[in-house]
Structure 1
Amino acid sequence: MTSTKTIHQTISTPDGPFTIIARAEDGAVLASGWSDDVQVMLDRIRPADRPASSAPGEIAASEAVEAYYAGDLSAIDDVLVAQSGGPFRTHAWSVLRTIEPGKPLTYSEFAVASGRPSAVRAAASACATNAPALFVPCHRVLRTDGSLGGFAWGLDVKRSLLAREASLALQPD
């Protein structure tokens, strides 16, 4: 466990309560997802990086979530995130942030985009271990047959996010 001071905030969204854990000093999001249980969010953070606790506070990234749900799909793009892993996983997480709303990739396509076409399972693992959900949009990756696959926050949330993004991505600017 680390001594990094963190704060957490839970906001309401159409997909349920959304909790964010961020570093107090710079607001970098360490974990986020559709739950009001702070411990669930803390448990998403890699054990070596996991803070012992988190205090309630206002987090700037919550405004990006509200803007996203209000229709500004790009509002989440520039939110600072912090998660650590090996070279492939870290790169794969950065690639997730380049997937355009309304244009999901399959796990195979995601592996190719991540530079390792044969590493489909590793690409799926990068999605499964992604702690700052929404800001690192792992929901934009589907099974090779186009079905939803898994999602830590449930398939109903994944389906809702993808439908929202598909309908808004089709609208002219």
Structure 2
Amino acid sequence: MLKYRTLDTPAGPLTVVVTGTGAVRAAGFTDQVSELLDLVHPLLRAPAEPADDVGPVAGHVRSYFDGDKTALDAVVVEQHSGGEYIRHAWRVMREIKPGAPVTYTEFARLSGRPAAIRAAASACARNPVAPFTPCHRVLRVDGSLGGYRWGLPVKRLLLDHEAAA
């Protein structure tokens, strides 16, 4: 059984879906848990019930928005995809530092497949645990935002928050 909680953040409601051990299986800037459960790989899907206690993730989110820009790094995530490249790209994405976004081209290179820019973009689009796997830190080559499942205003807010001194 999974648990979920919607947290109030400056970027809007952030719902987190966690396992019994507190690992995040799905997260996003929505108050609709069904939207998140659809993102979870079928092998990891389970019913979810609301809970006040979702483990340490709530405190890490609070710390992040209070100014500790690396607080989300400590959150354990549990992601699964159908392919090894996507799983590898998600691990690499977690290494992109706050305040140091990269382009899709650079992300593809960091992920070990410099010519696979579309595959790198697909890893961002398929990410079920935003902002803990920080796909918001990947931009177009011209520096524009590109896409973001939770809306470009949220992506801009997160990037501005991380760039602030």
Partner of 2:124: 127
- Aligned pair 1:72/2:68, yes or no? yes
Runs of at least 5 residues in structure 2 that lack an aligned partner in the other structure? none
**Residue 11 of structure 1: how far off its partner (Å):** 0.9
Distance 1:46 1:144 in 2: 30
Matched residue SS, 1:17: strand
Runs of at least 5 residues in structure 1 that lack an aligned partner in the other structure? none
Q: Which amino acid aligns with 2:40?
A: I
Equivalent of residue 136 in structure 2, options 135, 139, 145: 139
Distance 1:131 1:148 in 2: 19
Residues 22-70 of structure 1 deviation map (CA, whole Å, 9 limit, x = unaligned):
112x11100101111110111111233222x201121121111111000
TM-score by length of 1: 0.91
Distance 1:89 1:97 in 2: 12
Distance 1:8 1:78 in 2: 18
Q: Which runs of 4+ in 1 moved over 3 A?
A: none
RMSD (Å), alpha carbons: 0.9
Residues 68-102 of structure 1 deviation map (CA, whole Å, 9 limit, x = unaligned):
00000111102110011211111100111111111
Q: Which amino acid aligns with 2:16?
A: I
Equivalent of residue 54 in structure 1, options 48, 56, 66: 48
- How is 1:7-156 mapped onto 2 (pairs within 5 angstroms)? 7-24=3-20, 26-51=21-46, 53-57=47-51, 58-59=53-54, 60-85=56-81, 86-156=83-153
Matched residue SS, 1:73: coil
- Counting matched residue pairs gives 162
Matched residue SS, 1:8: strand
Matched residue SS, 1:127: helix
Distance 1:109 1:32 in 2: 25
